[in-house]
Amino acid sequence: MDYAGLLRAVEAGRTPPLVLLHGAEPVLFDDAVAAITRALFTDPDTAALSREVLEAREAGAEAIVRSALTLPFLSERRLVVVRGADALGVRQGEALAAYAAAPNPSTVLLLLADAEVAPSHWLLKALPPAAVVALPRFTGRALVSWLRTRAAAGGFQVEEAAAALLVQLVGDDLTLLLGEVAKAALAGGPDNRRVTPSEVRAVVGEQRLRNIFELTRAVAERDLGAALGVLGALLAAGEEPLGVLGMLGREARSVWQAREWLGQGRRDDEVARLLRRPPPAAAAVVALARALSGPAAARRLTRCWEVERRLKQGGAPRPELALLIADLCAA
């Protein structure tokens, strides 16, 4: 089954009892979880009582299976969402494989792996092929079409030319594209829900995109002087501090994710492809990931979360961001 087929089955009331979703698009994960939740539970209060979210590494396969075998209460079915399913070790595969052979019909067990699972991974051997769903990777006109459809679900009417321009300027990061749609709509007024090329140009200018690329490149190459210079230019141009932090956080997450993929034995060229960046930018991220230990890569991401908390509590943006960049370049 492919991703579109899964969503059609869910909408038709035929949600499978066991699904493994794998890929690197958080938006598509969120959409699938939301669609399945809506299909299973009409009442939000029932959803809160009948849906359980587990972290695979913390819970382990046996606890996941126990949760999936739990009978529903106040609803016909339960939903068990397991994040980071690919982190489960091969020794835990037996319990999950046994469950997959006879899943509980009153539970939907949704396993999420936030990276493409390699064909040799034990999960693909433990689960029936029909239960494995790879997230699609939209490109070209398919990406433009997806953006318009997904934006329409959020109440925005995006002209085809505007969607194509957004893809050209922003790239194929689905989360970033949806964020820019909302910003572009605001450029037309607080109540505007229509996005044309003029709104896109007003918000996503060429110079801004160039500065964003230069900032992330400088941080990836640990060029502190260049990174601080670009930070000053972005803030002087009116860029929101939380927006700059979002760029830095995405970069830190990419390095952490690349470190995880490298730790799984993936080749540099495969990791670069999964990052979905221009070749020079991807190469810089992979090189930095190789230079860092796993804990060091995780600390960089944690540092971004700390700065987000401080900014939301009223911290001074420029010094907080400057110190963060210094830490990211020094790590």
For the stretch 131-158, pLDDT in tens is: 999 999 888 889 999 999 999 999 999 9
- Are residues 291 and 185 part of one domain? no
Q: What is the pLDDT of residue 137?
A: 87
229 has pLDDT over 60: yes
Compare 281 and 178 and report the one with higher pLDDT: 178
278 has pLDDT over 80: no
- Are residues 282 and 167 part of one domain? no
- Are residues 188 and 220 part of one domain? no
pLDDT band at 237 (very low <50, low <70, confident <90, very high): low
Q: What is the pLDDT of residue 131?
A: 94
Average pLDDT of 201-205? 74
Q: What is the pLDDT of residue 100?
A: 93
Rounded Cα–Cα distance for residues 194 and 175 (Å): 19
Amino acid residing at 300: R
Q: What is the pLDDT of residue 331?
A: 61
25 has pLDDT over 70: yes
105 has pLDDT over 90: yes
85: domain CATH number is 3.40.50.300
- Are residues 55 and 105 part of one domain? yes
Domain end point (choices 181, 204, 227): 204
**Residue range of the domain that includes 98:** 3-134
What are the phi and psi torsion angles at 96 (to 5°)?
-70, -40
Rounded Cα–Cα distance for residues 193 and 28 (Å): 22
- Are residues 188 and 169 part of one domain? yes
- Are residues 262 and 237 part of one domain? yes
Q: What is the pLDDT of residue 16?
A: 95
- Are residues 149 and 113 part of one domain? no
Q: What is the pLDDT of residue 205?
A: 63
- Are residues 167 and 77 part of one domain? no
Domain end point (choices 81, 103, 134): 134
pLDDT band at 30 (very low <50, low <70, confident <90, very high): very high
113 has pLDDT over 90: yes
- Are residues 270 and 163 part of one domain? no
- Are residues 218 and 169 part of one domain? no
Average pLDDT of 187-192? 86
Compare 180 and 66 and report the one with higher pLDDT: 66
pLDDT band at 279 (very low <50, low <70, confident <90, very high): confident
206 has pLDDT over 60: no
Which residues make Cβ contacts (< 8 Å) with residue 13, sequence separation at least 6?
Answer: 39
What is the number of structural domains in the chain? 3
Angle at 25 between CA 20 and CA 30, to 5 degrees: 70
Percent of the chain with pLDDT over 90: 44
Q: How many CB atoms lie within 10 A of CB 280?
A: 11
Give the residue carrying structure tokens 């034990």: 122
pLDDT (tens digit per residue) in 1-18 = 899 999 999 999 999 999
Average pLDDT of 188-212? 79
